Chains A and B, each alone.
Chain A
């Protein structure tokens, strides 16, 4: 391996032509992704994430500049050559009706086959490995229409892996999935980036995932793309600038954007508990509009593992009751 970037852009201008006029979405795009890197593309809705990804995979022409796949201009590659270097996975789960999982994954070998050629031994090996790597080995003989959305997405991932690409591009891969399936897919992708040697580029709305798992974040905003390590973008405030609007702030601890609390702060409550109990007790205190603290305070919350609590002479059971009580007494205590 040469060590150079498997995907790079040079002076790229992303956009489209409408009635002969050029509409620029992003300009001066200079990006590079190396083998084994996981890149998260983040940015507000409509900033141009999808357009950027479509241009990067060669599905849409660039207005200016170049996209290089393994050092070669994507515009100069044939559709088949391109399909051997870059694979994509789209947002919506597909429904192809009566196709077996294995048959769908085997479509990933299409760029390697002559038009009459059958599947060779090597093709079968690659398909088998892709099924296992995407975690759908046990679904091989099932029909795609019988699977859940999450399973179908991973079948489409296996199909992309069967293309043996140097670059895997995923547009909002988790958008249609529930929380558990999201985490599952994120784990599969992180592992793949580390073990397969592919560069994985994915767009996502999940800032937490982007900051925790990505080696590099491409922040798309205001017609430009900033590429950096997640910590650099978070620490410099670039992510906060980008997402935090009037009522939003960037919460460093949670590594995500939260609703800003502009109301006058309620009472400070000393929380007397440990571990998980303490975590959720503080959560309840914050939700009630108060500030949890470890130091001295006029109010002390004592809480036991069965969620029985005492505060300010009152007592009760359960976090819901606690929040209700604090909201009521918090306003008077101030």
Chain B
């Protein structure tokens, strides 16, 4: 694919993401014209205080959270697929997100009875985040250890699903023995949602995402070398251990943090890289990482729109019910086209 075509694909993706962002901010229970949104954002005074509140406190955090979560999951998924040498790897499918939920659940249920949504202090919020990242890292290490022994991507997939069930079962047990007040906090975790994220939380998410997404720029070329296998990568001067560590840490942070604030959003990390490769006709991480970040952001935002999280109804679909429509067909396509077996060699 020529440079022009690559630029065109990226331009298209950026326009797509911007379009969804605009739709999500302007449409909803109250339609707010774009001009007014811009006035609010540039601080030139809005028509009404209500408009200001809707844009700044309801819609914008949700959109930013969706953008970051989508990009983070997609970049995490891309790295996992290379790391595991498995086209079916993804934080959700391999149980990494469930590990994060378990980590978070232990801290939430184990600490004081104040409701999670009522507003935890920064310290305990960081504690929950850290626990989620640790939970994600633990499952990631177990899954990778098994993947290196087994090699067959389909077996690894099943193992990941089982690890996810196991973590989920432990969460259920914890919930069963806990008083109902604290359960509310856990409900969003398993459904996936970008609606309850506050600006304070967004700060943590965006700083972490900026660091880790920046790190993936450094990892792009070593990951390309890893496509040839570890022995070739090391013969090309790549420090395979360091790249593995940095990449695993990135995935743990990205999926741990998104899960801590937006719940376990499924299938984005799996589908986005495949769509990126399909669009750009390459596996080059320098192109695939940014492209799948944009695609992941677009998927989460579109899913958020479809899920009806725009205030039309009080209740809404879990995000996973929508993302499954993108993710499940991709998994089936990979399985049936035999790409999973081919890559196992």
Interface residues of A (CB under 8 A from B): 57, 59, 78-84, 86-88, 90, 92, 94-100, 103-104, 107-108, 110-111, 113, 115-116, 143, 156, 163
The answer to whether B235 touches A88, judged by C-beta atoms less than 8 angstroms apart, is yes
Of the candidates A59, A88, A94, A98, the one whose C-beta lies within 8 Å of that of B281 is A98
Instruction: Name the contact of B237 in the complex, choosing from A90, A103, A111, A116 (C-beta under 8 A).
Output: A111
Interface: B39 (CB within 8 A): no
* Pair A115/B232 contact, Cβ less than 8 Å: no
- Judged by a CB distance under 8 angstroms, whether B225 is at the interface is yes
Question: How far is B221's CA from A59's CA once the two chains are assembled, in angstroms?
Answer: 20
Residue B30 is within 8 A (CB to CB) of chain A in the complex: no
Contacts of B170 in A (CB 8 A): none
Indicate whether B20 reaches chain A with its CB closer than 8 angstroms: no
The reply on B234 being an interface residue by CB < 8 A is yes
> Within the assembled complex, what's the spacing in Å between the Cα atoms of A70 and B225?
25
Contact B283 A57, beta carbon cutoff 8 Å: no
What are 30 A-B pairs at a CB distance below 8 A?
A59-B231, A59-B235, A78-B237, A80-B237, A82-B237, A86-B235, A88-B231, A88-B232, A90-B229, A90-B232, A94-B228, A94-B229, A95-B342, A95-B343, A95-B345, A97-B339, A98-B282, A99-B227, A99-B282, A99-B283, A104-B228, A107-B224, A107-B236, A110-B237, A110-B238, A111-B236, A111-B237, A116-B218, A156-B228, A163-B236
Residues on the B chain within 8 Å of A95, using CB: 342-343, 345
Considering the complex, give the chain A residue whose CB is closest to the CB of B282.
Answer: A98
Query: Min CB distance, B233 to chain A, in Å?
Result: 9
Task: Determine how close the nearest CB of chain A comes to the CB of B219; give it in whole angstroms.
Answer: 9
Residue of B218, B225, B239 with most partner-chain A CB within 10 A: B225
Instruction: Decide if A57 touches B235 in the complex (CB within 8 Å).
Output: yes
Chain B residues near A81 (CB, 8 Å)?
A: 237
Q: How far is the CA of A99 from the CA of B228 in the complex (A)?
A: 10
In the complex, whether B217 has a CB less than 8 A from a CB of chain A is yes
Q: How far is the CB of B7 from chain A (nearest CB, A)?
A: 16
Of B217, B231, B237, B239, most buried by chain A (CB within 10 Å of CB) is: B237
A133 to B227, CA, bound (A): 24
Cβ-defined partner of B236 (8 Å) among A97, A108, A115, A143: A108
For the complex, give the distance between the alpha carbons of A103 and B227 in Å. Answer: 12
A92 to B344, CA, bound (A): 13
Given A98-B277, A98-B281, check contact A59 B236 (CB 8 Å): no
Q: Across the interface, name the chain A residue whose C-beta is closest to B280.
A: A98
- How distant is the Cα of A203 from the Cα of B227 in the complex, in angstroms? 24
Task: Tell yes or no: B284 within 8 A of A by CB.
Answer: yes
Please name all residues of chain A whose beta carbon is closer than 8 Å to the beta carbon of B225 when the two chains form the complex.
Answer: 107, 110
- Contact string, B225-254, partner A, CB cutoff 8 A, digits 1/0? 101110110111111000000000000000
Assembly CA distance A78 to B237 (angstroms): 8
Q: Is A90 within 8 A of B281, CB to CB?
A: no
Q: List, in ascending order, chain A residues with CB within 8 A of B228's CB.
A: 94, 96, 104, 107, 156
Contacting residues, chain A, for B277 (C-beta < 8 A): 97-98
Q: Chain A: interface secondary structure?
A: mixed
Pairwise interchain contact B237-A98, C-beta atoms closer than 8 A: no
Q: Which of A59, A94, A100, A163 contacts B234 (CB 8 A)?
A: A59
Give, as a whole number of angstroms, the nearest-CB distance from A303 to chain B: 49
- Residue of B229, B235, B237 ringed by the most chain A CB atoms within 10 A: B235
In the complex, chain B residues whose CB is within 8 Å of the CB of A88? 231-232, 235
Q: List, in ascending order, chain A residues with CB within 8 A of B218's CB.
A: 115-116
Chain B's closest residue to A104 (CB) is: B228
Given the known A-B contacts A57-B235, A96-B228, are A115 and B283 also in contact in the complex, defined by CB atoms under 8 Å? no
The reply to whether B283 and A98 form a contact with Cβ atoms under 8 Å apart is yes
1/0 per residue, CB under 8 A from A, across B306-325: the answer is: 00000000000000000000
A158 → B minimal CB distance (Å): 13
Q: Are A84 and B237 in contact (CB under 8 A)?
A: yes
Top 10 A-B pairs ranked by shortest CB distance? A83-B237, A80-B237, A111-B237, A96-B227, A98-B283, A88-B235, A79-B237, A110-B236, A97-B283, A99-B283
Residues of B208-229 contacting chain A, CB below 8 A: 217-218, 221, 224-225, 227-229
Give Cα A47 to B43, complex, Å.
76
Q: Considering only CB atoms, which chain B residue lies closest to A118 in the complex?
A: B286
Which chain A positions have C-beta within 8 A of B234?
A: 59, 79
List 7 other contacts, CB 8 Å, given A99-B224, A113-B221, A156-B228. A94-B229, A95-B345, A98-B283, A99-B227, A99-B284, A110-B225, A116-B217
Expressed in whole angstroms, the minimum distance between the Cβ of B147 and any Cβ of chain A is 17
> How does the 8 Å CB contact mask read for B243-285 relative to A, with 1 for contact and 0 for none?
0000000000000000000000000000000000100011110
- Give B236's nearest chain A residue, CB to CB: A110
Q: Which residue of chain A has its CB nearest to the CB of B342?
A: A95
Q: Given the interface contacts A97-B343, A113-B221, does A87 sit within 8 Å of B227 by beta carbon?
A: no
Contact of A100 among B217, B232, B235, B282 (CB under 8 A): B282
B221 and A110 form a contact (CB under 8 A): yes
Q: Tell me which residues across on chain A come within 8 A of B282, comparing CB atoms.
A: 98-100, 103
CB distance from B91 to the nearest CB of A (A): 21
Q: Are A79 and B345 in contact (CB under 8 A)?
A: no
Q: How far is the CA of A99 from the CA of B118 in the complex (A)?
A: 50
For residue B295, give the distance in angstroms from its CB to the closest CB of chain A.
Answer: 16
List the B side residues contacting A80 at CB < 8 Å.
237
In the assembled complex, the CB of B250 is this many whole angstroms from the nearest CB of chain A, namely 15
Least Cβ–Cβ distance between B282 and chain A, in angstroms: 5
> Are the CB atoms of B239 and A79 closer together than 8 Å?
yes
Residue of B nearest to A165 (CB): B235
**Judging by beta carbons under 8 Å apart, are B345 and A96 in contact?**
no
Q: Which residues of A contact B232 (CB under 8 A)?
A: 88, 90, 94, 156
- Bound: A55/B235 CA distance, A: 12
CB distance from A205 to the nearest CB of B (A): 20
User: Given the complex, which residues of B lie within 8 Å of A86, measured CB to CB?
Assistant: 235
Q: Min CB distance, B258 to chain A, in Å?
A: 26
Q: A110-B238, A163-B236 are in contact. Are A90 and B231 (CB under 8 A)?
A: yes
Chain B minimum-CB-distance residue to A169: B235
